Amino acid sequence: MAVAGPSPTGSLPRLRFFLFVLTIFLTATADEAVAAAGSGGLSIGINYGQIADNLPSPSRVSWLLQSMQVNKVKLYDADPNVLSAFLGTGVEFVVGIGNENVSAMTDPAAAQAWVQHYVVPYHNLPISTTTTTRRTRMITCVTVGNEVFKGNDTSLKASLVPAMRSVYGALAAAGLQGQVNVTTAHSLDIMGSSYPPSAGAFRPDAAPYMTQLLDFLSTTNSPFLINCYPFFAYRDDPKGVPLEYVLFQPNAGVTDPNTGLNYDNMLYAQVDSVYAAIQALGGQYAGVDVKISETGWPSMGDPDETGATPEYAGVYIGNLLRRIEAKQGTPRRPSVPIDVYVFALFNENLKPGPASERNYGLFYPDGTPVYNVGLRGYLPPVEDSDGTRKVIHLFALIAMASITLILS
């Protein structure tokens, strides 16, 4: 008795079922990618500056950062357009209050209004995937002012800590005490001495303010933020500062004569000098963590800006990324992984100052890397932040329909 072979059309139901499952899988994969940033990704954060007139929309930037698996972003304001574009992504933000608004924040009512408008709407948000729904805080820190002690505005300096107290009080009133830190970022020129690292000390004119600030930071368990740029040291003295020392390349390093600790790179020496300066003001501040709120290397500069090249920028950022992903600490605190926000995401063509100021970006505005350090991302050509998922879904549907038509 002959056994009939399978009909050519008998496999169509199974094929259609397979393609249907594939469609669901691809759609789910895109949905999972949206939440991936909040569940893992790179350990490093990125500064997202916007002093430019040619940057992609926040919704497109959202996809770029998610595709890079970046889950920590620092802003210099609290732009609702940016924050809204990242809703549901799991990306965590440091938001800022500009120097021009610091004095106003000393008024508790003004601070409360600011917190209600810029922080509360972005807290305890649901993030849903195909399998789970969880809640996350979108804003983890508020910086009050930026490099306040770099200038000569004594009124601004005197207003800083009172403004921070008001903002913290407003967060506490909103039930966010202990969930959102309040701090401020400093330029390294706040240091009167940074070498050797163990002799680090704040400038005499800044020390009285630092005591008030550290009292606040230690009480609220908030970090001390410092902007560190080894590039400046090399630019100003290329003959006296070894290039290998500032680029994290192999070198003999520098040994601190007071502690015996060896430093093979300038960035870690700068951070430990800040720790020493904090300790010099009192042992009660030993629990204050130092975090790097900015560091980077320009890919281009003026003729007198030695070292501003894409090659050196790539080496600096690439070697820094490797150390951060290895959860490396400084010689003074080897068991505490250093926390870094790279400056910056994009080149910003409207920034004032020397050419280097406009060329710190990892990416050009069109999403192409300025130099290769292994950070690859996708900047969608559409404005819809959900566009990539829709494209994947549409592609799967077209593929299923096309194959079905061919075989039917």
Task: Tell me which amino acid residue 265 is.
Answer: N
Active-site residue (options: 92, 100, 244, 294): 294
Hey, what are 185's tokens?
């970022």
Active-site residue (options: 92, 100, 147, 325): 147
Task: Return the CATH number at 266.
Answer: 3.20.20.80
User: 401 lies in which domain range?
Assistant: 8-39+386-408
> Could you tell me if 259 and 119 lie in one domain?
yes
CA distance 320 to 308: 17
> Could you tell me if 158 and 208 lie in one domain?
yes
In a domain, 132, yes or no: yes
> Could you tell me if 216 and 279 lie in one domain?
yes
> Could you tell me if 179 and 68 lie in one domain?
yes
In a domain, 63, yes or no: yes
CA distance 8 to 125: 51
In a domain, 3, yes or no: no
In a domain, 54, yes or no: yes
> Could you tell me if 182 and 46 lie in one domain?
yes
> Could you tell me if 402 and 290 lie in one domain?
no
pLDDT for res 50: 98
Query: Which H/E stretch holds residue 262?
Result: strand 262-263
**What is the length of the chain?**
408
- Give catalytic status of residue 357 as yes or no: no
> Could you tell me if 92 and 226 lie in one domain?
yes
In a domain, 274, yes or no: yes
In a domain, 1, yes or no: no
In a domain, 347, yes or no: yes
- How many domains does the chain fold into? 2
> Could you tell me if 68 and 183 lie in one domain?
yes
Consecutive sets of 10 residues in the chain, 408 residues long: mean pLDDT of each?
44 49 42 43 94 98 95 98 95 98 99 98 74 76 98 97 99 96 98 98 96 98 99 98 99 98 99 99 97 99 98 98 96 97 98 99 97 87 54 41 41
CA atoms within 13 A on the CB side of 293: 28
In a domain, 2, yes or no: no
> Could you tell me if 344 and 392 lie in one domain?
no
> Could you tell me if 17 and 159 lie in one domain?
no
- Give catalytic status of residue 147 as yes or no: yes
> Could you tell me if 209 and 117 lie in one domain?
yes
Quick check: 160 and 148 in contact, CB under 8 A?
Answer: yes
> Could you tell me if 22 and 78 lie in one domain?
no
